[in-house]
Chain A
Amino acid sequence: MKKKLLIVEDEKNLCVLYKEELTKEGYKVTAVMDADAALELVKKHKFDLIITDIRMPVKNGIDLITQIMALRKDIPIIINTAYQSYKHDFMTWAADAYVVKSASLDELKSKIKELVG
């Protein structure tokens, strides 16, 4: 059975790119552009992994992770951000991996493989 991934990314082009690339890798991918929409999906569906950006309008990725953890502690989460600086925030520890965005998706793909196979 295909593993289900939820991507939370406020930049439309990246959202499309991640969805295409990870679908090619054999995952069933749902992509949303804001944290509240992601939270609603997590309440209703069972995902195997969540990949979230941090800097997003309205609600940031750290608040989203905190709320997801309050609902379900067992979902693996990857933080996928353009910024190293959020590593200083210990709330990021709720995530299982921290990936700094780059042109290549190799690191992201390898972390996904590590966490869900």
Chain B
Amino acid sequence: MSELRKDIISGRWVILAAGRSKRPDDFRPALLEKKEAPAGFCPFCEGNESKTPPEVFSLRKKGTGKDKPGWWVRVVPNKFPALNRGTPPVRHDEGIFQWMDGVGVHEVIIETPGHNKELSDLPLYHLQYVLDTYKDRIISIEKEFQYKYVHVFKNKGKDAGASLSHSHSQIVATPIIPKGVNEELYGCERLHRQFGECIFCRIIHDETRIGDRLVLRNDHFCVATPFAPRFPFEMRIYPLRHSPWYTTLNKIELEALAKTLKIVLEKLKNVLSDPPFNYFIHQAPNPNLPHEAWVNLEKSFHWHLEIIPVLTRVAGFEWGTGFHINPVTPETAATFLRA
């Protein structure tokens, strides 16, 4: 029997059509990804620094120079960006239509100098370098007031949108707050007024108490499958300490996040045979700007990281209705992921 479930924050409903799939392996035929042929050349590899724009940030060995080999993590602007840095864009109205200049930031975080290393293969200290780099770049970009929102995300595998297998993440900063983030912010604000506490803090508390969707919990983070997940094996990493911004993570928390993320990525790899996936950080908008619209932003929003394995296709029903059909209940997914 299928079930309809509502996501409390977004108000979005999902259809859990469980029962069709008994094992994680049942999804493997759905994976359409072809293994990438070995590339003869990769612009992200160490030694090919001249093929990227000049780096804006790197963590590198002592004595090595900018845009030269010897780095662990390297950040470069997108060579052919869709959005360009610039002055705050002016919003134009043409009757009922609005437009503005394509101002924004698009950077690529090259997570490792080696072509064949995946994020989950990296030693903990190196994974922490990547997470430190996210923090550093967000803080740096948020100093430019025209960028209201900084989005950090990773696509792994062709079916998840990665055009290159060399492990990398991306940062896109925009002069507007994306609709999906806005809806989450408003949802959290509404629920904060209703319950008098942060809804994510409540979710962490309840998921820990119930335990059915809990994947793991340590001193600093909690990983759970959401109550109404759009996709099979979707997971969220929640920090236990309430904060709307990823950039407030301290050194100990970053170390704990590296450990947590490594475990989660290894679980994905083992349980689902190395699937393509996306992950992204949802955090509050640029803290250097006023946010009149959300009175309790600091209390109501709680940054988190969402991980979505790409195991199913979004098709006509999902696009047309906003409903997602998920063939795996989050409780079943969590059982496999805990094992």
Asked whether B80 lies within 8 Å of A87 as measured between CB atoms, the reply is yes
Asked if residues B41 and A66 are in contact (CB atoms below 8 Å), the reply is yes
Cross-chain contact of B51 among A67, A93, A98 (Cβ < 8 A): A93
A94 and B44 contact, Cβ closer than 8 Å, known pairs A66-B39, A87-B80, A89-B163: no
Q: How far is the CA of A69 from the CA of B44 in the complex (A)?
A: 13
A residues less than 8 Å from B39 (CB atoms): 66, 91
Residues A94 and B51 in contact, CB atoms below 8 Å apart? yes
Q: Are A90's CB and B44's CB within 8 A?
A: yes
Distance A93 CA – B79 CA, assembled complex (angstroms): 6
B164 at the binding interface (Cβ < 8 Å): yes
Tell me, yes or no, whether A73 is within 8 Å of chain B by CB.
yes
Our count of residue pairs bridging A and B at CB distance below 8 angstroms stands at 43
User: Does A103 belong to the interface (CB within 8 Å)?
Assistant: no
Tally chain A residues at the interface, Cβ within 8 Å. Answer: 15
Residue of B nearest to A65 (CB): B41
Interface status of B40 (Cβ within 8 A of chain A): yes
In the complex, chain B residues whose CB is within 8 Å of the CB of A65: 41
Smallest Cβ distance from B159 to chain A, in angstroms?
A: 15
Nearest chain A CB to B300's CB is how many angstroms away? 35
> Are B40 and A98 in contact (CB-based, < 8 A)?
no
**Which B1-45 residues sit within 8 Å CB-CB of chain A?**
39-41, 43-44
Tell me whether A69 and B52 are in contact in the complex, defined as CB-CB below 8 angstroms, given that A90-B108, A90-B163, A98-B80 are known contacts: no
B122 at the interface (CB under 8 A from A): no
A92 at the interface (CB under 8 A from B): yes
Chain B residues within 8 Å of A66, by CB: 39-41
Q: Tell whether, in the assembled complex, residue B40 and residue A88 are in contact, meaning their CB atoms are under 8 Å apart.
A: no
Interface class of chain B by DSSP: loop
CB distance from A18 to the nearest CB of B (A): 21
Residue among B39, B48, B50, B80 with most chain A CB within 10 A: B80
Task: Give the distance to chain A from B196, nearest Cβ to Cβ, in Å.
Answer: 44
A58 at the interface (CB under 8 A from B): no
Query: At the interface, yes or no: A1 with Cβ under 8 Å from chain B?
Result: no
- Asked whether any CB of chain A lies closer than 8 Å to the CB of B203, the reply is no
Query: Which one of A70, A88, A90 has the greatest number of beta carbons of chain B within 10 Å?
Result: A90
Partner of B164, one of A69, A87, A91, A98: A91
Across-interface contacts of A94 in B (CB, < 8 A): 41, 43, 51
Bound together, the chains give a CA A66 to CA B163 distance in angstroms of: 13
Residues in A with CB closer than 8 Å to B41 are: 65-67, 69-70, 73, 94
Q: How far is the CB of A94 from chain B (nearest CB, A)?
A: 5
Question: CB-nearest residue of chain B relative to A86?
Answer: B80
Q: Which of B41, B48, B81, B168 counts the most A-chain CB atoms under 10 A from its CB? A: B41
Minimum Cβ distance to chain B for residue A79 (Å):
9
Instruction: Tell me if A93 and B40 are in contact (CB < 8 A).
Output: no
Q: Roughly how many angstroms separate A70 CA and B168 CA in the complex, as a whole number?
A: 21
> Distance (Å) between the CB of B129 and the closest chain A CB?
21
Q: Mark A73-95, 1 if CB is under 8 A from B, else 0.
A: 10000000000000111111110
Residues of B within 8 A of A93 (CB): 43, 51-52, 79-80
Q: List 14 A-B contacts (CB under 8 A).
A: A69-B40, A70-B41, A73-B41, A73-B51, A87-B81, A89-B164, A90-B43, A90-B108, A90-B163, A92-B79, A93-B79, A93-B80, A94-B43, A98-B79
Name A residues whose Cβ lies closer than 8 Å to a Cβ of B: 65-67, 69-70, 73, 87-94, 98
A-B pairs with lowest CB-CB distance, top 9: A70-B40, A69-B41, A93-B43, A89-B163, A87-B80, A90-B164, A98-B80, A93-B79, A66-B40
Given A65-B41, A67-B41, A73-B48, output 11 extra A-B contacts at Cβ < 8 Å.
A66-B39, A69-B40, A69-B51, A73-B50, A87-B80, A88-B163, A90-B168, A91-B43, A92-B80, A93-B51, A98-B80
